[in-house]
Homo-oligomer: A and B are copies of this chain.
Amino acid sequence: MKAEIVSIGTEILLGEILDTNARFIASRLPALGIDLYWTSQVGDNHGRLAELLRRAWGRSDLILCTGGLGPTEDDVTREAISDVVGEEPRVDAVQEEILRRFFAGRGIVMPERNLKQAWLTPSTRPIPNPRGTAPGWWVEKDGRILLAMPGPPAEMTRMWEEEVEPRLRGRSTGAVIVSRTIKTVGIGEGSVDEMIGDLLHTDNPSIGVYARADGIHVRVTAKAPATRQAESLIAPVEAELRRILSSAIWGIDDETLESSIGGLLLERGLSLATMESCTGGLLASTITDVSGSSLYFRGSIVSYATEVKEQFGVNPAIVETYGVISAETARAMAGAVRRTLHADVGVGITGVAGPTTQEDKPPGTVHIACDAGRGEPAVMSYTMAQGREAVKRRAVTNALFLIRRALLAAPTG
């Protein structure tokens, strides 16, 4: 089944909103065995929308529209669809009743212009939308399915999950696509390619290697008539990849670095604390994005001013000798916060977020240390200039990797 997504709204074309609906729908199609070939965005313009829908009607089996179902003159999705299928939209008595009740339930008299939200055409079945006034349209004609869903993501996602996906399941005769993502660290894209070698040339499941912010991802994708069969195609290849990549693997599928570290800390019964300078608290915030992190995360000292570092245990002589932006200061910060917040593991980050230099060090210079209380703290130093927020984000990712390494190196408690 060949699908196409059409997002409707002038705000998208003005760059005022991100089209998150298309991404949401796109991410749900592979598991339904539906192939997505095209997505497009078009403004609230009857002519251009009808042109696009007509092309979609000619080349796709399933057309998934979002947006343009509001009550105003600008909302032309119903009109354009009616054009394309050559039918006249009319007020449906049942839909009108639902609509009037929706307004009455909120103590408001329905504005008459909302009546167009009760329109249907002969080939159209309404899709319930308890979260808003506009029902969706399920149009089925000449072997094609065209769906129109509301633009507000809260209305669209509910409609998709409760109404659309259950009805589409099983309508596709196509194969189901299932994938498993294995996330690694410490080996480059080229090396992963070499290590998994011949597996790369298998066809089903197929294997892809991707460089991401949190390391190299290896994705195994299988196509089969049903989910179970796809999973059994993946299993032996996954086992083989786990054998080959072994200790480089830090997570599977939706697992994040912060959740994986949380798991390691819990397993080992260890607590964590951070002292952050250039990341300004973003490391602590990322660690606490994990629900249950209060079980192992003690807290952070965001020592933006140099005196704050020294106030909480960083030796002024180290800062004096090596500078604030130095591996030595990062190490001192890790040790200081470990002691001050009574944690088992301490992390220190110092660097230049930019855009200006500091102590003659260029923006993007970062030093990270992780002190697990035994032996020398692990230290990572690098320079990668990319703009303030990117420098912060990358430092957080690298700090999480460093924590992971330190935890794995330490004997289990």
Residues on A close to B: CB < 8 A?
Answer: 12-20, 22-30, 36-43, 45, 48, 52, 154, 274, 276, 279-285, 287-289, 291, 293-294, 297-305, 307-308, 311, 341-342, 353-356, 386-390, 392
Contact = CB atoms under 8 A, between A and B. Distances in A.
Contacts of A353: 288, 291
A288 B300 CA distance: 15
Contacts of A390: 154
A353 B290 CA distance: 10
Contacts of A386: 154
Nearest to A190: B111
Stoichiometry, copies per complex: 2
Central interface residue in A23, A283, A311, by most chain B CB within 10 Å: A23
A280 B291 contact: no
Secondary structure dominating the interface of A: mixed
Nearest to A386: B154
Contact of A301 (B291, B297, B299): B299
Contact of A14 (B16, B19, B26): B26
B304 A299 contact: yes
A270 to B, nearest CB: 14
A41 B22 contact: yes
Contacts of A389: 289
Contacts of A299: 301-305, 308
Given A299-B302, A386-B154, A284 B288 contact: no
Contacts of A293: 280, 304
30 contacts: A13-B36, A14-B27, A14-B36, A15-B23, A18-B20, A37-B42, A37-B43, A38-B42, A38-B48, A40-B41, A154-B387, A276-B281, A280-B281, A280-B288, A280-B289, A281-B282, A281-B283, A281-B302, A282-B285, A285-B392, A288-B302, A291-B354, A291-B355, A291-B356, A298-B308, A299-B303, A300-B300, A300-B302, A301-B302, A302-B302
